Chains A and B, each alone.
Chain A
Amino acid sequence: MLSRVAENIYWLSRYVERAENTARIVSVNANLLLDLPRGIAPGWRPLIDITGANALFEEHYKDYGERQVVRFLIGDERNSGSILSALSAARENCRTIRDFVPRESWELLNELYLYARDELPKGLTKSGRHVYLKHLIQGAQTMTGMLSGTMLHDQGYDFLHLGRFIERTDMTTRIIDVRSANLLPEETTELRPFETIQWVSVLKSLTGYQAYRRSEQIRVLRGPVLRFLLQHPVFPRSVNYSLESLRKSLEKLPRNEATLRIAGRLKRMLEGVEPRRLNQQQLKSFIDEFQIGVGDLHDEIARTWFLPPPELEPKSPSQSQSQVQTTTTARENKKEERG
């Protein structure tokens, strides 16, 4: 399989996952705010914190109001992490590999993008937002299901998995990071009012509430929620599960030693931590370090299997191929800032 094709599949998958995750956090935040009294409600800023695009946001918007944040996350094409940008990038990546992707998946993705674009005004209204986001989440899920049900499970499928689970690991850890910081300015044993409801919303952002209740059978508390999201072996959005899926796909690929080494390090790091014993500061530095490791894993995947980056800036912008921008995103840059 050509490196370029592998790379396109990887990014296609990452962008679809990103669109879905972003739709989830917007949707859940809107619900959460309805449940909280004004004084306690964290507002909309945490969503921008999660995506890490604060600088870009502040360049274009005066304050972190609902309207501004939602627009930025759903439909602002200046934000490469917005749902619309992610779907557009997924579509461009998919376009070049239409031979590898089942035709109906390409058509679905195309429809999804057109829906996101054409119905955007509806998605920006309070009353239309829910339906809009739900459609996008379902569309992304359908895409994922269709690909696993119809695509050849060959190397291309492994790269599809890599993209999905790298993105998911990234998003899950970001949500934990930002949301828990918001929730608990300092460690406390006393349950503050409305805290439960906020931890519930964290779970819901990751569609984990129902699964948590079934699996943990205890109240929604910081320690168990963190353990569930980070370490649960079979909850498909937990970090542990994502890492395990990454490892399985990596094992099937040739020349995988360096990537497996990094994945192994991440796994040990995750297993060695006891989330409930970490105070907020420790949790934050754990997640920062972990995210740098995820960034390393991405870099190593790219170094091992993808096309090398062009040595020089393309001299002629009119040549076509440079127009499919795949490799850099605001969030990748963000990780470097963190590191």
Chain B
Amino acid sequence: MSIDWNDYSCEDFYDELVEAPGKARDCVDGLLQDLEDLGHDELVTRQEAADVAIKEMGITFTVYSEEGGAIDRTWPFDIIPRIIPQSEWDRVEAGLRQRVQALNLFIDDLYHDQRIIADGVFPAEVLAKSVNFRPQCVGVNPPLGIWAHICGSDLVRDADGTIYVLEDNLRVPSGVSYMLENRLVTKRVFPELFEHYAPLPVDDYPSQLFDTLAALSPRPADYPEVVVLTPGIYNSAYFEHAYLAQQMGCELVEGRDLFVDDDDCVYMRTVDGAERVDVIYRRVDDLFLDPEAFLPDSALGVPGLLRAWKAGKVALANAPGAGVADDKVVYAFVPEIIRYYLDADPIIPNVPTYRCMDSDSLAYTLEHMETLVVKPANESGGYGMLVGPASTKAERERFAELIKKDPRNYISQPALKLSTVPTIIGRKLEPRHVDLRPFILSADRQQVTMGGLTRVAMRKGSLVVNSSQGGGSKDTWILPDCAKD
């Protein structure tokens, strides 16, 4: 059966590949033609080949179950790429650089003079209620003044084509390994597409990451001792921790592999004895990092690590406390933050956001709950949210009570109509909603991944893209020009 793009329904949403039934977006008419030539059966065959390749390559994520220990599930992947023209991407990239630069200035300010509060731009009460502000970090000067070295920002596109930042992940964002592996799999199962197109390469991320981390080393060296700190094999992102360590040629360590000596330096225990560590790319949350400074019960961390970091004997990426800028109420202030520190308008807009701490916004939110998405400040992964259009009256009433009780803890946003990309469902191509997570590296210079990780909600109408909840992923192509050669 051949593919007929006239049957592809894309009127209600912005589709990334198909502008209107039967009509491709500027860059991609050749691609749609190629897919049409392949036909449904061949596409399904390729999808199966991709599934096998992913299994063979051992690309997994971990779901922990009490009974069977950790279970590796193969990574869900759809072979139809998502495409962004380079001209559009250049603007997005500039916007991301601007955003992360401002956020780093903001974090540094919060842990020092708090000028932004003194100047009345950012309310002290928001900071006072932030659960990710770490008083232990006040006055610390991390290398280069940077706190968020690795940032993963989630982008979405609304029905009118506007790209928004939905949230910034400044703590331990994950997903970049899948971005890299998705490209490898696509090359393997779709080699002919690469004859016609040259998506910009993504595979220099590991060396860029190493450069970023190496730049933070307290001891200047060509190859400082950089390690990746993982919570262990039961963590859902363990595959990525192992993958990045391997790609960078670094040791993958757990907390018990490290110790802090009386000289405040961090050492790892090796067969050859103790070896000093310069930079730790930590994939362990703040509160588990150091039982002396944070949760005393944590067995994942390294006692004294914060002391070593404050003494400048080791660099931590991301710096503890960077998560203060990753709260959803802080998010609502990012446009002001950019204006305040950079004296510039945000290049990528925020999703319009109502801060329930303002009485007007609170009233608006309570009146329009059916059309809004309500989010608590400090939850991630879609927990504790109300999606107005899909909610029941009882749920809305329960949320109204919650909001009234603690307005500072809530924001609301109009429910966006996320863009779609053709996705293989059964034996057909159907539109499915996507988002995009690019990664921004900041040290002595900034670098942005070429595209990022496109996540796709595999169920019809669903907006849930998380892999643990049935989401899939796609390769993301930044195409340098619109001509198929």
Q: A residues within 8 Å of B by Cβ?
A: 1-4, 6, 92, 95-96, 98-99, 103, 155, 159, 253-255, 305, 307-308, 310, 314-316, 319-324
Contact = CB atoms under 8 A, between A and B. Distances in A.
B232 interface: yes
B273 interface: yes
Interface string B103-134: 00000000000000000000000000000000
Given A1-B271, A95-B233, 11 more contacts: A2-B251, A2-B268, A2-B271, A3-B270, A92-B69, A98-B242, A308-B269, A316-B299, A319-B299, A321-B299, A324-B233
Contacts of B252: 99
A320 B231 contact: yes
Contacts of A6: 271
B271 A254 contact: yes
B161 interface: no
B271 A319 contact: no
B154 interface: no
B272 interface: yes
A155 B234 CA distance: 26
Q: Which range holds the interface residue count of chain B?
A: 20 to 34
A99 B273 CA distance: 21
A314 B255 CA distance: 13
B58 interface: yes
B100 interface: no
A90 to B, nearest CB: 13
A336 B74 CA distance: 45
A307 B269 contact: yes
A4 B254 CA distance: 9
B246 A307 contact: no
B269 A321 contact: no
Contacts of B268: 2
A4 B273 contact: no
A321 B257 contact: no
A316 B297 contact: yes
A46 to B, nearest CB: 34
B9 interface: no
Contacts of B386: none
Contact of B253 (A2, A315, A316): A2
Nearest to A1: B271
B447 interface: no
Given A2-B251, A307-B257, A254 B272 contact: yes
A258 to B, nearest CB: 14
The CB with the most chain A CB atoms within 10 A, among B69, B252, B299, is that of: B299
Given A99-B246, A155-B271, A253-B271, A4 B233 contact: no
Interface string B78-111: 0000000000000000000000000000000000
Contact of B300 (A92, A308, A319, A323): A319
Nearest to A305: B271
Nearest to B274: A3
A218 B232 CA distance: 55
A2 B228 CA distance: 13
Interface in B245-290: 245-246, 251-257, 268-273
B297 A4 contact: no
Given A92-B69, A98-B242, A2 B299 contact: no
B208 interface: no
Interface in B45-71: 58, 69-70
Nearest to B57: A103
A65 B299 CA distance: 44
A9 B268 CA distance: 18
Nearest to A308: B269
A176 B285 CA distance: 52
A315 B291 CA distance: 11
A323 B234 contact: yes
Nearest to A314: B299
25 contacts: A2-B251, A2-B253, A2-B268, A2-B270, A4-B256, A4-B257, A4-B269, A92-B69, A96-B232, A99-B242, A99-B245, A155-B271, A255-B273, A307-B256, A307-B257, A307-B269, A315-B296, A319-B298, A320-B231, A320-B232, A320-B233, A321-B231, A321-B254, A321-B299, A323-B234
B235 interface: yes
A339 to B, nearest CB: 28
Contacts of B70: 95
A84 to B, nearest CB: 14
Given A2-B270, A3-B257, A155-B271, A96 B297 contact: no
A315 B299 contact: yes
A3 B256 CA distance: 10
B294 to A, nearest CB: 13
A173 B76 CA distance: 51
A319 B299 CA distance: 6
B297 A315 contact: yes
A3 B269 CA distance: 6
Given A2-B251, A98-B242, A320 B234 contact: yes
B358 to A, nearest CB: 39
A320 B271 contact: no
A320 B300 contact: yes
Nearest to B253: A2
B256 A310 contact: yes
Q: Which of B254, B255, B271, B297 has the most CB atoms of chain A within a 10 A radius of its CB?
A: B271
Nearest to B246: A99
Nearest to B255: A321
A321 B232 contact: yes
Contacts of B256: 4, 307, 310, 321
Contacts of B273: 254-255
What 3 A-B pairs are tightest by C-beta distance, nearest first?
A: A320-B234, A319-B299, A316-B297
Nearest to B296: A315
Q: Count chain B CB atoms within 10 A of each CB in A3, A103, A305 and give the residue with the most.
A: A3
A1 B253 CA distance: 11
